[in-house]
Amino acid sequence: MPLRLVVANSESSYLATDTGILVDAFEAVLNELRVVDRNDPAVLVVANRIIAFAKTGVLDPLKLRDLTVKAVRKDRVPG
């Protein structure tokens, strides 16, 4: 599912104006995590994490990337 659809379905209308920032962060996270298949379930997890961080006011693409990569990697570690 493309990030734009997730943003469009989110409850925050202000996110629509920041879609470019979110897309940049989204692509950077997928590259960092080496996710190539856009049908991989991890893609939706990444999109939702980015939106969650953006809703808290984080709109810097590099910060969004770093926070999202850290969160997704933490989720992957069995514990």
Does any domain span residue 79?
no
Number of domains in the chain: 1
Does any domain span residue 18?
yes
Average pLDDT over residues 8-16: 58
For residue 67, the enclosing domain spans: 3-73
Please write down the long-range contacts of 57-64, taking CB distance under 8 Å and 24 or more positions apart: 59/18, 59/21, 60/21, 61/21, 61/24, 61/25, 61/28, 62/25, 62/28, 64/21, 64/22, 64/25, 64/29
pLDDT at residue 20, as a whole number: 86
Q: Provide the whole-model pTM.
A: 0.78
* The pLDDT of residue 1 is above 50: no
For 58-67, how does the pLDDT look when each residue is reduced to its tens digit (9 = 90+)? 999 999 999 9
* The pLDDT of residue 71 is above 70: yes
For 18-41, how does the pLDDT look when each residue is reduced to its tens digit (9 = 90+)? 788 899 999 999 999 999 999 999
Does any domain span residue 78?
no
Does any domain span residue 35?
yes
